[in-house]
C-alpha cells in the first residue's frame, strides 16, 4: 500500500535524480564553453611557443657563430640571426609560390592556346544563348516559385547566408590568430635562444620535489632528441641538395630552356622541402615536373616536338626514387642515429595526430614531437625496470 511517507520518499528520489541530470547537463554546457575557450587560449600560446622552441635549434647555432666568429654582442647577434632566418624563410616561400603561380599560369595559357579561337567563341556563344533562353522571360515571382518548387525556400537561403557570415567570421578569427602567432613567435624565439636553460630550469621548479629530477631528465633527453633531429635533418637536406644539384645540372645540358640556374634552384627547393618527411620530397619533385611540363606545352604550341621534356620528366622522377631509396636505406640510419629512429607508421600517426591538433604547424613539427614522446616513454620504461 502506497503511504504518504513512501510517496514523499519516491518524490524526493525523483527530484534528486531530476536535479542531478539537469545539473550535469548545465555543467556540460558551461564546461564545453569554458573548455573551448581554454583550448583556444592555450593554442594561442602553445603554437607560437612550440614554433619558437623548435626554431631555436636552428637560430641558436647561427647566433652563437655570429657571436664567436664575427665578435657581435649576444644581445645583437640573436635579433640578427632571427632576422636572417625569417628573411630566408619568407624568400623561400615567395620564390616557391611565385614559381608555382607562374608555371600554372603558363600551363593554363598553353592549354587554352591548344584550343582554336573559333571553338572557344562558339562555346561562349552557346553558353550565352542557353542562359538567355532560360531566363529571358522569367520575372522575380517566377524565380521565387521555382526556388520553392525545387525544395528550397527563402528561409533556407537565409540560413545559407547566415552560415556564410559565420564562415567569414571564423576566417577572420583564424587570420587574427595567425597574426598573433607571427607576432609572438619572434619574441618567444629571442628569449628561448638567449635564456633557454634558465627558462626550463624555472619551469622544472614548478614540479613537485619528488618528481623534479625526472622532469629535468626528461627535458634533457627531449632537448638531445630534437637537437639530433635538426642536426641530422640539416645534413640530410644538404646531401639532397648536392645530389640534385649534380644530377639536374648534368640534365640541363641536354634539355632546352632548362638552365644550370633552374637546376640549382630546384635542387635547393627540393632540399629545403625535405624538412617535411615523406610528403616534402614529393612536393619538391612537383616543381621541376611542372616546369618541364609547361615547356612541353609551349613547344607543342609553336609546332615543335615536346618528347624531350617527357623524357626529362621521367628522368627526374627516377632520380627522385633513387634518392629516396638511398636516403631511407643508407644515409638516414647513419645520420639520424638511434636517438630519432622512429617507425614510419609512428611518423604517419604523428602527422595525423599533431596535424589535427595544431594544423599545418603540427605537420611540420610532428617528427620531433614524436621523438620527444618516444624519449619520454623510453625513460618511463627505464624507471619501471629499475624498480
Q: What is the pLDDT of residues 182-235, one digit of tens each?
A: 788 888 888 888 887 777 777 778 778 787 787 888 878 877 777 777 777 888
Contact 150, 142 (CB under 8 A): no
Closest CA to 286 of 269, 310, 305, 263: 269
- pLDDT grade for 248, boundaries at 50, 70 and 90: very high
Q: Is residue 20 part of a domain?
A: no
- 386 occurs within a structural domain: no
Structural domain contains residue 58: yes
Residue 72 and residue 76: Cα distance in Å, rounded? 7
For position 246, what pLDDT does the model report? 94
pLDDT over 90 at 31, yes or no: no
Question: How distant is the alpha carbon of residue 144 from its chain centre?
Answer: 44
Query: Is the whole model's pTM more than 0.85, yes or no?
Result: no
Residue 3 lies in a domain: no
For the chain, the domain total comes to 1
Q: Which long-range contacts (CB under 8 A, 24 or more apart) does 80-86 make?
A: 81/193, 82/186, 82/189, 82/190, 82/193, 85/55, 85/58, 85/59, 86/186
Query: Is 164 domain-assigned?
Result: no
Q: Which three cell numbers, joined as nine digits, stand for 268?
A: 635547393
Do the domain assignments include residue 106?
Answer: yes
The answer to whether residue 69 sits within a structural domain is yes
9 is a domain residue? no
pLDDT > 60? residue 137: no
Which has more pLDDT, 59 or 356? 59
What is the domain range of residue 102?
Answer: 46-113+185-193
Amino acid at each position: 500500500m502506497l503511504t504518504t511517507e513512501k510517496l514523499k520518499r519516491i518524490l524526493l528520489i525523483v527530484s534528486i535524480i531530476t536535479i542531478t541530470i539537469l545539473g550535469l547537463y548545465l555543467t556540460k554546457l558551461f564546461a564545453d564553453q569554458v573548455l573551448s575557450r581554454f583550448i583556444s587560449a592555450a593554442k594561442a600560446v602553445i603554437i607560437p611557443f612550440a614554433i619558437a622552441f623548435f626554431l631555436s635549434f636552428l637560430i641558436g647555432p647561427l647566433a652563437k657563430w655570429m657571436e664567436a666568429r664575427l665578435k657581435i654582442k649576444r644581445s645583437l647577434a640573436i635579433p640578427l640571426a632571427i632576422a636572417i632566418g625569417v628573411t630566408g624563410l619568407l624568400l623561400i616561400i615567395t620564390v616557391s609560390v611565385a614559381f608555382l603561380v607562374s608555371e600554372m599560369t603558363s600551363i593554363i595559357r598553353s592549354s587554352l592556346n591548344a584550343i582554336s579561337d573559333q571553338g572557344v567563341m562558339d562555346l561562349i556563344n552557346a553558353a550565352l544563348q542557353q542562359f538567355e533562353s532560360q531566363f529571358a522571360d522569367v520575372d522575380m515571382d517566377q524565380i521565387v516559385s521555382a526556388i520553392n518548387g525545387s525544395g528550397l525556400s527563402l528561409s533556407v537561403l537565409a540560413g545559407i547566408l547566415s552560415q556564410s557570415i559565420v564562415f567569414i567570421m571564423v576566417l577572420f578569427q583564424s587570420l587574427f590568430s595567425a597574426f598573433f602567432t607571427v607576432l609572438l613567435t619572434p619574441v618567444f624565439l629571442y628569449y628561448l635562444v638567449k635564456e633557454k636553460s634558465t627558462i626550463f630550469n624555472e619551469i622544472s621548479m614548478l614540479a613537485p620535489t619528488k618528481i623534479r629530477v625526472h622532469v629535468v631528465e626528461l627535458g634533457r633527453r627531449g632537448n638531445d632528441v630534437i637537437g639530433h633531429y635538426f642536426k641530422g635533418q640539416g645534413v640530410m637536406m644538404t646531401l639532397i641538395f648536392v645530389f640534385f644539384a649534380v644530377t639536374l645540372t648534368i640534365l640541363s645540358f641536354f634539355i632546352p630552356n632548362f638552365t644550370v640556374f633552374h637546376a640549382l634552384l630546384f635542387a635547393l627547393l627540393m632540399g629545403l622541402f625535405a624538412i617535411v618527411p615523406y610528403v616534402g620530397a614529393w612536393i619538391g619533385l612537383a616543381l621541376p615536373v611542372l616546369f618541364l611540363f609547361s615547356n612541353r606545352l609551349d613547344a607543342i604550341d609553336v609546332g615543335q616536338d615536346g618528347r624531350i621534356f617527357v623524357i626529362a620528366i621521367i628522368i627526374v622522377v627516377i632520380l627522385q626514387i633513387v634518392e629516396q631509396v638511398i636516403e631511407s636505406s643508407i644515409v638516414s640510419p647513419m645520420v639520424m642515429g638511434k636517438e630519432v629512429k622512429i617507425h614510419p607508421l609512428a611518423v604517419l600517426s604523428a602527422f595525423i595526430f599533431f596535424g589535427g591538433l595544431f594544423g599545418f604547424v603540427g605537420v611540420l613539427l610532428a617528427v620531433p614531437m614524436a621523438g620527444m614522446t618516444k624519449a619520454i616513454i623510453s625513460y618511463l620504461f627505464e624507471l619501471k625496470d629499475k624498480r
